[in-house]
Amino acid sequence: MRIVLGVAGGIAAYKSVLLLRLLREAGHEVRVVPTRAALEFVGRATWEALSGQPVTTDVFEDVDQVAHVAVGKSAELVVVAPATADLLARAATGQADDLLTATLLVARCPVLLAPAMHTEMWEHPATVANVATLRSRGVHVLDPEAGRLTGADTGPGRLPEPEAIARAALALVATRPQDLTGRHVVISAGGTREPLDPVRFFGNRSSGRQGVALARAARDRGARVTLVAANLTVATPSGVDVVPAETGAELRDAVRAAAKDADVVVMAAAVADYRPRTAVETKLKKSPDGVAPVLELVETVDILAELAHERLRADQVVVGFAAETGDAAGSVLEHGRAKALRKGADLLVVNAVGGGRGFGTDANDVTILDGRGVVVATSSGTKDVVAHAIWDAVLLRF
């Protein structure tokens, strides 16, 4: 594989020498693109000797080969380690004032940035915003490790170990089995909003991350993917058909329309169980007499149960989710079992929420039940890891 190893100007650049060796030993062709500042820490000769390739930093070197476009275009993976605060800022604003940033603009392959800087710089709102921007565009930004920094100071900001960076980078391009080729999968993700008036709604805290991870994983395994997206707070993956839906009713229509020819329907969206009976067209005013209004709610259609009982296509695999907290009446799993029996889906993915678990984070921990409430698999890790475990369980149903 052709890998570009970008190196920005930080003391941790010396660790990238080992990263370069690891990538080369794994059999990859590595082109090192340091910034000018990086060469203050590790010289050109080291990079050239270990990579066996010429090393340039500026867009005005090797102009005859149009290096600023060629390097990014031919890359199959770009890794930048260390990524300094300055590099993150330049990448986030799309600058192209040296070969590394020009390469980042041109590259269409997976990009992994491994930041390293002082804790203050990492925690500054400017850096936080730059990292969020890059992540929203699909760039993978590792969290730095906490520990001893350049001086006597300690805190988050250390470059992760070269082995960990190499592992994370190569995982981005690991070829997946194309075992969903020829399948159409429909995934609902996010959380519905049920309007009360033009400015207010009943909503929930679902970010849509797990549903989006399922869409990405299915795409990577060869499926045609329809993602019914309800108010996502994360970017949608490329290469999938996105159908936006705001309310439960819109989501139901979109899912049912797409499900007609689907092999699999996964209801990962958090759908409101109740909605206000009427959504008024003008803004509700605060009552002048201090009497709090009483809102009348009506039950919404249970889309998952409807799909499971109706079976729009005879051989369709229907998958539901159950976010449970557990309570006096039963544990997370007991509630999950009861829900599996009630909903009639082929698989129910149960996860514990509350206390910071499940919502808005990148980690998940799930138990997958069949329609009778029997555990068929468990998975924990990033939402991408969990997504692949769910597809593995789905594939066993075909």
Q: 3-state SS string over the chain? A: CEEEEEECCCCCHHHHHHHHHHHHHCCCEEEEEECCHHHHCCCHHHHHHHHCCCCCCCCCCCHHHCHHHHHHHHCCEEEEEEECHHHHHHHHCCCCCCHHHHHHHHCCCCEEEEECCCHHHHHCHHHHHHHHHHHHCCCEECCCEEEECCCCCEEEEECCCHHHHHHHHHHHCCCCCCCCCCCEEEEEEEECCEECCCCCEECCCCCCHHHHHHHHHHHHCCCEEEEEEECCCCCCCCCCEEEECCCHHHHHHHHHHHHCCCCEEEECCECCCEEECCCCCCCCCCCCCCCCCCCCEEECCCHHHHHHHHCCCCCCEEEEEEEECCECCECHHHHHHHHHHHHCCCEEEEEECECCECCCCCEEEEEEEECCCCEEEEEEEEHHHHHHHHHHHHHCCC
Check binding of 300 to ligand CTP (CB under 6 A).
yes
Q: Which is nearer to ligand CTP, 88 or 319 (CB)?
A: 319
Find the binder of ligand CTP among 195, 248, 276, 336 (CB under 6 A).
Answer: 248
Check binding of 304 to ligand CTP (CB under 6 A).
yes
Of the candidate spans 126-134, 135-143, 232-240, 294-302, the one that interacts with ligand CTP by CB under 6 A turns out to be: 294-302
Check binding of 302 to ligand CTP (CB under 6 A).
yes
Q: Tell me, by CB under 6 A, how many residues bind ligand CTP.
A: 15
Find the binder of ligand CTP among 5, 323, 332, 366 (CB under 6 A).
Answer: 323
Of the candidate spans 40-48, 94-102, 123-131, 320-328, the one that interacts with ligand CTP by CB under 6 A turns out to be: 320-328
Of the candidate spans 173-181, 318-326, 375-383, 389-397, the one that interacts with ligand CTP by CB under 6 A turns out to be: 318-326
Check binding of 194 to ligand CTP (CB under 6 A).
no
Check binding of 267 to ligand CTP (CB under 6 A).
yes
Check binding of 273 to ligand CTP (CB under 6 A).
yes
Q: Which is nearer to ligand CTP, 48 or 273 (CB)?
A: 273
Find the binder of ligand CTP among 7, 87, 131, 303 (CB under 6 A).
Answer: 303
Binding mask 84-103 for ligand CTP (x = CB under 6 A): --------------------
Q: Which is nearer to ligand CTP, 130 or 188 (CB)?
A: 188
Would you please indicate which residues are annotated as catalytic (active-site) residues? Answer: 204
Check binding of 271 to ligand CTP (CB under 6 A).
yes
Find the binder of ligand CTP among 269, 350, 368, 390 (CB under 6 A).
Answer: 269
Q: Which residues bind ligand CTP (CB under 6 A)?
A: 248, 267, 269, 271, 273, 300-304, 320-323, 339
